[in-house]
Amino acid sequence: MNIQTDPTPTPGSDATTTLITTPVRSLLKRAPVTLPPQTPIIEAARLMREHRISSVLIVQDGALFGLITDRDLRNRVVATGLDTSRPILEIATLAPLTIDIERPAFDALLLMARHNIHHVPVLDGQAVVGMITGSDLNERQSNSAVYLAGAIYNQDSLQALVQTSARIKLLQQSLAAAEASAYSTGHIVSAITDALSARLLQLGELQFGPAPVEYAWVAAGSQGRNEQTAKSDQDNCMVLADDYDQAQHGEYFKQLSRFVCDGLDACGYVHCPGEMMAMTDQWRQPLQKWRGYFHHWIAFPEPEALMLTGVFFDQRFVYGKAALIDELRAEVVQRTRGNKSFLVPLAGNALQRQPPLNWLGNISLIKGGAHEGCVDLKMQGIVPITDMARFYALAAGSDAVNTRDRLQIAADSGAITAERVRDLIDAHEFLGTLRLQHQAQRMSEGHAADNYLRPDELSNLERGHLKNAFAVVKSVQGSLARLYPVNQL
């Protein structure tokens, strides 16, 4: 069984998917315009005017050294009265973020959105081959993710961020209207949440002062997996450096984390009902304490520990010092790989939520309550796939967190056949897209987004695909149960 969606975009139908399938190479419009580091600023400005370009690459001995943009000329030269005979090296962005020529254009979009930049040098190996800009990407997409992220970083108050964040729902609606994939939509919405989190942290540091010790702000749950939608609470935590001292530093980080979590709540990412947020003392701890948490969860996989795997084993760095979370992640996957005493209960946990199919293989609807006649696309379809993907990744010792990435790694490891992986990826994409379209429809009608879909609102073809997607999940769960029976411990 293989649920297929057409991977070939039609004109105007799915601009974001086009970015996934389009290499950066195809966006290059001209040979790179380069200058050596000692070039006078005035000469660079004249060259930019002559070529009608907004940036120049600084190259020395064939290697990329940095870049300058028209914004640099405005903010670092004109606004400060800097002598234009000075070398461009003095106003350049050194060691800029780059992208390989063969990478998908979508990766460039995410790079710009996450780091609030609008110019990315393109490399072929070590050779500089060009530059792409936010405008180049905007011509290929139907949404303004890059510019929304930029607008977020330009806000200087929580109230302004709240107003700007109101556009996130419109962004998701425009992506749904363009028939963007669930995979790309999740990455884009998560990138915007990352931008909000980072900007709130910056504003918090302006209000409370610089952080007394290094820290990493970490996204968890759906944001950590790059699978967020407009219907989402917040899951996050803080990993503090081990020189953290509760008596000296505790109040600072308590205030900072509260400021950020309350800010995200005001922007529409409601407080986690289970309080799995950095503002909760338990989830704002030094690295050594986090090591202890994961060691205990892995060594003693009791129900509460398994519940926490659905949040904190899906971690991704957002802001601060990345090395703190990178070190923790590496230790976690080393402990889980081939660890049968942990993996068997984890497999059992992945079987807890079953797709809504009765013994005849037909869709079973919710009975009674506010959602009678519906299916829960998230809990009955998407989450079971997410849980199995997490299991396969941890069993293989992989630090991947995105569900599709985890499933592809599972196929490479041989833990599941390539055909089954294709089925699960297609099912996950179909259910995710159906969920996003359902949420967009509700928001356009003035209702809150939710995950409860009435199958009778679908066409016969769509209901058939929904049934097939649930059947794929049920089938793979059956295979997993046979390979990892919970009673074998």
Which percentage of the chain shows pLDDT scores above 70?
93
416-431 burial: b if 16+ Cβ within 10 Å, else e: beeebbbbbbbbbbbb
Query: What was the pLDDT predicted at 10?
Result: 35
pLDDT at 362 over 50: yes
Displacement of CA 194 from its chain's centroid (Å):
8
Q: What pTM, to 2 d.p., does this model score?
A: 0.76
Give tens-digit pLDDT for 188-197. Answer: 889 889 999 9
On whether the CB atoms of residues 119 and 38 are closer than 8 A, the answer is: no
Pick the closest to residue 21 from 123, 98, 120, 107 (CA basis).
107
Q: Per the structure block, which two tokens stand in for 270?
A: 């409601």
CATH architecture of 23-138: Roll (3.10)
Query: What was the pLDDT predicted at 140?
Result: 55
State the chain's mean pLDDT as an integer.
88
H or E stretch including 136? helix 134-138
Q: At what angle do helices 460-483 and 418-444 cross, to 10 degrees?
A: 130
170-193 burial: b if 16+ Cβ within 10 Å, else e: bbbbbbbebbbbbbbbbbbbbbbb
Its sign, for the CA torsion 24, 25, 27, 28, is positive
Q: How far apart are CA 394 and CA 337, in angstroms?
A: 6
Q: How far apart are CA 360 and CA 12, in angstroms?
A: 41
Q: How far apart are CA 22 and CA 107, in angstroms?
A: 10
Give tens-digit pLDDT for 7-39. Answer: 333 333 344 445 666 788 888 888 889 999 999
H or E stretch including 130? strand 127-133
Give tens-digit pLDDT for 64-123. Answer: 999 999 989 999 999 999 999 999 999 999 989 999 998 888 788 778 877 888 899 999
Give tens-digit pLDDT for 458-489. Answer: 999 999 999 999 999 999 999 999 888 766 54
Q: pLDDT-derived band of residue 138, with 50, 70 and 90 as boundaries? A: low
Q: pLDDT-derived band of residue 139, with 50, 70 and 90 as boundaries? A: low
Q: What one-character DSSP code corresponds to residue 141?
A: -
| For range 330-352, the mean pLDDT | 92
Q: How far apart are CA 155 and CA 162, in angstroms?
A: 10
H or E stretch including 317? strand 316-320
Residue that has been written with the tokens 């919970």 in this structure: 486
Query: What was the pLDDT predicted at 468?
Result: 96
Q: How far apart are CA 269 and CA 71, in angstroms?
A: 33
Domain ranges of the chain: 23-138, 153-336, 344-488
Reported residue count of the chain is 489
Q: Which residues, at least 6 apart from 121, have a Cβ–Cβ distance to it below 8 Å?
A: 32, 57, 64, 67, 96, 98, 99, 128, 130, 131
Residue that has been written with the tokens 């979370």 in this structure: 325
On whether the CB atoms of residues 198 and 317 are closer than 8 A, the answer is: no
Superfamily of domain 153-336, CATH level 4: Beta Polymerase, domain 2 (3.30.460.10)
